[in-house]
Amino acid sequence: MGLVSPLGHSPEIFWSSLLAGQSGIGPITRFDASPYHARIAGEIRDFNPEDYIPRRDARRMDPFTHYGMAAAQMAIADAGLALDTMDRDRIGVLVGSGIGGLYIMQEQGQNFEREGPKKFSPFMIPQMITDILSGYIAIEHGLQGPNFSISSACATAAHSMGESMRMIQSGDTDLMVAGGAESALNDLGLGGFDKMRALSRKRNDDPQAASRPFDSERDGFVMAEGASVLVLEEMEHAKARGAKIYCELAGYGRTCDAYHITSPHETGRGAARAMILAIEDAGLKPEQVQYINAHGTSTLLNDRSETLAIKKTFGEEQAYKLAISSTKSMTGHALGAAAAFESVVCALALRDQVVPPTINYEYPDPECDLDVVPNQKRELAVEACLNNSLGFGGHNACLCFRRV
């Protein structure tokens, strides 16, 4: 696993921060956010792309590519891949982005407005397109297996990991480098979400308290950025080379609400079916799942519908026995990278038998009345867990992880 996040730039730093209930959200410093109602975010700090990428190449990349390249390099090292001795035709890459090169899009648009077509960069298109990150990772490491990208808004990384799992299961490849990356913290990104009234506005003066999933005082999500990449490998292939195995990705479900461009279905029907499919795909029964890392965006509609979806999936009695947390309370919402962050959470919860909290839970909402692990981590025997991801357009994806 590899990770660049608002809570640090390694899975272990990220994990210890989450378990301590620390928030990575603060005032936006990268540009002047004063014209907007929302002026806080989970920014990436203390990150130098040249620690991972040659300077000449880094100058030709959008920040989402910087983050994804760094996370992939960490993941490949963590997996102990001796690439020179492996069949690189059997190693693929599927690292997606919900938005792609938004920094480059804004910069090039501004250049055009000032000085016309002569100021377009010849690198503009390859800097912007969402699939360029998968391409760069493959070029850097010589990986010649399946290579493309998925863009499904906030479900991007979950779809990327799930479809990677399917390619391994089908025998197309032995190993996939999978995940998501995002960097949309500029005027275009913030301004667009702000205009939608999707972002938290109440707590610009207290940013660490702004993301409050399932709390009755929630008023929108907090934007974040970063990348997380995981190495997925066929189990026997991994065992044969003595790999360090965190957990098994055992099940995957994906559905569509077919309802609204931004709002989830009010009954949670699509999210529930994705969870049911993932559990069945893993060969489990609902009562064998102990923990859910919820999508939990801190928006009024998402948290309510996800609660209903969990009840629909597990039944009222079992739903109240589950531990459910939203780590977006600490990271903010990293859009296309979110599910990859949260897959790291699931893997380490299974490894360490502890689940992180939902912080900022102060005012219970009777419509979100499940056990959201409020404010403090919890020691818990976890054998199986789910990672929910629900994207604009009605895209639902659920991953089921098991302990090994």
Out of 9, 333, 398, 400, pick the active-site residue: 333
Largest CA distance in the chain: 65
**Is 400 an active-site residue?**
no
In the residue annotation, 9 being an active-site residue is answered as no
**Cα four-point dihedral sign 181, 16, 359, 255:** positive
Contact assessment for residue 390 and residue 271, using Cβ atoms and an 8 Å cutoff:
yes
Q: Is the dihedral of CA 24, 15, 137, 255 positive or negative?
A: negative
The two three-digit tokens of residue 359, written as one number: 């912080």
End-to-end CA distance of the chain, in Å?
A: 16
Tokens of 115: 């000085």
The pair phi, psi for residue 277, each rounded to 5°, is -65, -40
d(CA 325, CA 299): 15
Distance from C-alpha of 163 to C-alpha of 155, rounded to nearest angstrom:
12
Spatial distance between the Cα atoms of 369 and 215, rounded to a whole number of angstroms:
10
102-115 and 187-195 helices, crossing angle to 10°: 110
Residue in 62, 77, 75, 18 with CA at minimum distance from that of residue 42: 18
Which residues lie below 8 Å from residue 244, measured CB to CB, with a gap of 6+?
78, 79, 80
Task: Assess contact for 206 and 25: CB atoms under 8 A.
Answer: no
23 contacts: CB under 8 Å, gap ≥ 6: 207, 208, 211, 329, 330, 359
Q: How far apart are CA 219 and CA 38, in angstroms?
A: 11
The answer to whether 49 touches 91, Cβ cutoff 8 Å, is: no
Which one-letter amino acid corresponds to residue 25? Answer: I
Q: 306 near 328, Cβ under 8 Å? A: no
- Who contacts 57 (Cβ-Cβ below 8 Å, separation ≥6)? none
- Annotation says 260 is catalytic: no
Instruction: Determine the residue type at 197.
Output: R
For 381, phi and psi rounded to 5 degrees? -75, 105
Which residue of the set 9, 295, 385, 398 is catalytic?
295
Catalytic residue among 66, 154, 346, 395: 154
Q: Which residues are catalytic?
A: 154, 295, 333
